[in-house]
Amino acid sequence: MKMKYILVVIIGLALLISPQLYAQKGHQHNGHKHNKSHTHGSGKKAHNHRYSRSRVVVVKHRRVNKVNKLPAGYRTYNLNGRKYYRHNGYYYHYVGGTYSIISSPRGLRVTVLPKGYRKVVIRNKPHFYYRGTYYVQAGKEYEVVEPKEGTVVSELPEYNVEEITIDEKTYFEIDNILYQPVSTEEGSQYKIVGKLED
């Protein structure tokens, strides 16, 4: 009799634990993959939502800016053997005889932040935001970094932003980072909700 009772208790515990193990391994819901990962330095877990490109419907194509000559006052940077040019907070790359505004190169370091930047605290660490680019202080310099999910900003850049829908929900994509319009006490803003799959 005792053996039957113990067996029933073990089966009951197994049924309770199984769903939790399933959730920890990551699951797919409504076509979006949900994975848990550790956030460095915070000690807390954060969701990194990845969205399938197969579900993307482009509503408004990104605006690309190309010029034959760089504006006066630009600065030149080198990163991993490539040259980049920065002016008024935007980064340019030279291809095929023209200079095109591109996504900010991650890992590049600058000594001066662009005028008009905003300070954003992300997971207890100060970041500096300007026109889609995020910087963190690295000694006496500022390094371009990838933003974290959950970050809220008041505005998006003028160039290289694509308006899309996924499952009939509107998003704005910048360099695979997905922003969604949100209402806050400060008005309409944009929140990072995930990334497009590579």
User: Per-residue pLDDT for 25 more than 70?
Assistant: no
Q: Tell me: the pLDDT tens digits for 90-125?
A: 999 998 899 999 989 999 999 999 999 999 988 889
Q: What DSSP designation does 39 have?
A: P
Q: Tell me: the pLDDT tens digits for 140-196?
A: 999 999 989 999 999 999 999 999 999 999 999 999 999 999 998 888 999 999 999
Q: Tell me: the pLDDT tens digits for 55-93?
A: 999 999 998 899 999 999 999 999 999 999 999 999 999
Kindly indicate the confidence band of residue 1, based on its pLDDT and cuts at 50, 70 and 90. Answer: low
State the pLDDT at residue 9: 44
Kindly indicate the confidence band of residue 50, based on its pLDDT and cuts at 50, 70 and 90. Answer: confident
Q: Where are the beta strands (DSSP E) in the chain?
A: 27-29, 32-38, 45-51, 56-60, 66-67, 75-79, 82-87, 90-95, 98-102, 109-110, 118-122, 125-130, 133-138, 141-145, 152-153, 162-166, 169-174, 177-184, 187-196
**pTM value > 0.85:** no
